[in-house]
Amino acid sequence: MRIAVIAPPWYTVPPSRYGGIEWVVALLADGLTERGHQVTLFAPPGSETEAELVPPLGEIPPEELIGDPWYEAAHAISACDRARESDLV
């Protein structure tokens, strides 16, 4: 099965420090890949995963702009556009 997993744009997966959501995403993407699924992880550049990594944005947004709707929307739209190739998002 082709599965797309979308992580927030702010921290790498897995995170180098705080990042509860990013840890869950890392474990999920790697676990699904280990089970033989074709997984694409949409996460910030620098993320480490067994899945295919696709960074929707060219760089990690500045930390002081966490929650900025422009970065959130640009990341989500880019990921969703490519995720249409997947069976499950």
Task: Concatenate the DSSP letters of all residues of 5-52 into one string.
Answer: EE--SSS-SS-SSS-HHHHHHHHHHHHHHHTT-EEEEE--TT---SSE
Domain range for 48: 2-83
Residue 89 covered by a domain: no
Cα distance between residue 78 and residue 71, in whole Å? 11
pLDDT tens digits for range 33-68:
999 999 999 999 999 999 999 999 989 999 899 888
Residue 17 covered by a domain: yes
Structural domain count of the chain? 1
Mean pLDDT of 16-28: 88
* pTM recorded for the entire structure: 0.90
Residue 88 covered by a domain: no
Q: How confident is the model at residue 86 (pLDDT cuts 50, 70, 90)?
A: very high
Residue 63 covered by a domain: yes
